Amino acid sequence: MRNWWCCPVERLTDEFFTLSTGVAGEIAQKFVNYRLRLAVIGDISRHLAASGALRDFVRECNRGRQLWFLADQIELDERLRKTV
C-alpha cells in the first residue's frame, strides 16, 4: 500500500476549500504525482455548507483512493482496513 499523509483540517486555509482558487487541485495533483495519498481529517461542514461544488468534489474524492476527507482518525482506520 502506498504511503498516506494525514493533514488536520485546521492546517488548511480557507483558500484550500474555495475550489476556484485551484489550491486543492494543485495539492491533490502533487500527491498523485509523487504516488502518495492524502487524508484530510476533521470537520469541514462549514465549508461544505457554503459550496455545492466543494460537496461534489469531496464526494468524488471519497469514492477514490488518492484523497479522502474524513471526520476523524477512527474513520480513516476503518477505511484503511476495508481497502487492505
Question: Tens digits of per-residue pLDDT, 42-71?
Answer: 999 999 999 999 999 999 999 999 999 999
Q: Look up the pTM and report it.
A: 0.91
The Cα 25–Cα 55 span in angstroms is: 14
Whether 1 has a pLDDT exceeding 60, the answer reads no
> Between 26 and 2, where is the model more confident?
26
Q: How confident is the model at residue 83 (pLDDT cuts 50, 70, 90)?
A: confident
Task: Show Cβ contacts of residue 3 under 8 Å, excluding neighbours closer than 6 positions.
Answer: 35, 36, 37
